[in-house]
């Protein structure tokens, strides 16, 4: 009885394995026929995949690097068998090159990177290992896995290869002619590739474009004075207001703006300036209210303020405050983004320069992955008392009914 059960289990497992294998083959043939190859050509493809020990034969139809490897293997084998002058060889080789061109053009037209399979050998990478900082690396080979050089910091391998094994990492890169990307992966294996200690990263289709780093915002709880500026006259950036303005609360701050809470209903596109103290230093920022969130229940507004002018010394004071409040994980992300931007600096468009006295903001804001959410500081905020904030009604800047 026991023997019958064992035999039955073995048969089930064998059938399951055959079904799984047939499923892979059927999918491979289906994809090949959709790509325009005949059954005999697809059979040759399948044999090539097995001869080159491809763990994922389907990669032949989507990965230029894998297809290159297959073409090289096909040529080498045909030359060894002296069949490289046959009509069949020339026809199939022509179709291979034609398909190679087709997937290249399709990938270029798509522009947006949707799989790590398309990353090229030599691509520079910035790798974050949580708790250990940002490392530099590059791709040595991209096939079943992404094979990268053992990451370094300032050209020094701070961690041995085995310390990376099975670790989750975040990878940042600038793809030439396109944009910055980030993806999460796992280190699957370590070895030596062409004389370099290497890590094998898992492939993924989950890539996100990164936003150009305009600024880093830190949550805060700072009382400030708000002044409405006249749009009809030149702004004197050297003026410091001695009289109190509209009392407001800064809920977050960066070198190029702030989130301001005020009483009443605000209005967008209003030129304003804010004054407040930061570490004993008076900060004066000039700019525009770009958007308004109104809370009718509390009769308060959040003003999204974009700064168009701040003096260098005050900008540095704001940056010092912001960076000192960032948690370590946020600083790692910021460093990776900064280094990735440096890699892509040659592809970046020319930036606008600020004209003295102008209140027109630089609107070159990208709509990619939000930077603020990723690296915003989690500083606890004190309870806000609506009675502490002045209403904008007294300053004639509430939204007209």
Q: pLDDT tens for residues 142-184?
A: 888 999 999 999 889 989 999 999 999 999 998 877 788 899 9
Angle at 138 between CA 133 and CA 142, to 5 degrees: 125
Task: State yes or no: pLDDT of 81 exceeds 80.
Answer: yes
Task: State yes or no: pLDDT of 264 exceeds 80.
Answer: yes
Instruction: Give backbone dihedrals phi and psi of 331, rounded to 5 degrees, phi first.
Output: -65, -35
Question: What is the distance between the terminal CA atoms of the chain, rounded to a whole angstrom?
Answer: 88
Q: How would DSSP label each residue in 232-266? A: TS---TT----S--EEEEEEEEETTEEEEEEES--
Mean pLDDT (whole number) for 23-48: 76
Where would I find the H helices in 154-296? none
Query: Which pLDDT tens digit goes with each residue over 287-331?
Result: 999 999 999 999 999 999 999 999 999 988 998 888 777 777 777
Predicted local confidence at residue 109, as pLDDT:
55
d(CA 111, CA 12): 46
d(CA 63, CA 203): 12
Burial 205-221 (b: 16+ CB within 10 A, else e): eebebbbbeeebbbbbe
- Do 253 and 287 contact (CB within 8 A), yes or no? no
Predicted local confidence at residue 359, as pLDDT:
55
Mean pLDDT (whole number) for 234-250: 90
Residues in the chain: 401
Predicted local confidence at residue 58, as pLDDT:
73
Mean pLDDT (whole number) for 68-74: 78
Strands annotated E in 133-179 = 133-142, 146-149, 168-174
d(CA 25, CA 401): 68
Predicted local confidence at residue 108, as pLDDT:
58
Full-model pTM: 0.51
Residue 300's DSSP bridge partners are 263, 295
E strand or H helix that includes residue 313:
helix 312-325
Task: State yes or no: pLDDT of 189 exceeds 70.
Answer: yes
d(CA 134, CA 146): 18
């Amino acid at each position: 009885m026991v023997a019958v059960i064992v035999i039955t289990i073995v048969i089930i497992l064998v059938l399951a394995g055959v079904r799984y294998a047939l499923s892979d083959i059927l999918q491979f043939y289906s994809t090949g026929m959709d790509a325009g190859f005949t059954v005999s050509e697809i059979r040759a493809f399948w044999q090539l995949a097995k001869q080159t020990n491809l763990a994922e034969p389907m990669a032949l139809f989507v990965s230029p690097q894998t297809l290159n490897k297959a073409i090289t293997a096909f040529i080498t084998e045909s030359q060894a068998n002296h069949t490289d002058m046959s009509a069949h060889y020339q026809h199939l080789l022509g179709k291979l090159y034609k398909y190679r061109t087709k997937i290249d053009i399709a990938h270029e037209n798509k522009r947006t990177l949707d799989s790590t399979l398309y990353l090229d050998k030599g691509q520079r990478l910035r790798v974050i290992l949580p708790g250990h900082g940002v490392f530099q690396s590059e791709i040595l080979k991209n096939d079943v896995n992404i094979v990268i050089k053992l990451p370094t910091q300032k050209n020094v391998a701070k961690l041995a290869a085995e310390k990376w094994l099975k670790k989750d990492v975040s990878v940042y890169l600038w793809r030439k002619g396109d944009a910055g990307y980030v993806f999460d992966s796992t280190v699957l294996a370590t070895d030596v590739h062409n004389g370099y200690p290497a890590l094998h990263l898992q492939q993924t289709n989950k890539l996100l474009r990164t936003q150009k780093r305009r600024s880093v915002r830190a949550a805060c709880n700072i009382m400030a004075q708000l002044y409405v500026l006249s749009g009809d006259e030149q702004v004197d950036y050297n003026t410091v207001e001695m009289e109190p303005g509209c009392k407001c609360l800064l809920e977050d701050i960066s070198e190029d703006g702030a989130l301001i809470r005020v009483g009443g209903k605000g209005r967008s596109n209003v030129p304003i300036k804010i004054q407040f103290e930061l570490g004993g230093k008076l900060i004066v920022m000039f700019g525009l209210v770009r958007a308004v969130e109104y809370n009718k229940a509390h009769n308060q507004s959040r003003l999204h303020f974009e700064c168009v002018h701040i003096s260098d010394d005050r900008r540095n004071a704001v940056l010092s405050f912001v960076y000192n409040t960032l948690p370590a994980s946020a600083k790692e992300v910021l460093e990776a983004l900064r280094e990735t931007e440096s890699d892509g600096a040659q592809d970046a468009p020319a930036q606008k320069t600020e004209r003295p006295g102008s209140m027109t903001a630089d609107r070159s804001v990208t709509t990619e992955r939000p930077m603020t959410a990723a690296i915003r500081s989690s500083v606890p905020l004190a309870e806000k008392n609506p009675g502490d904030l002045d209403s904008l009604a007294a300053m004639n800047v509430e939204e007209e009914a």
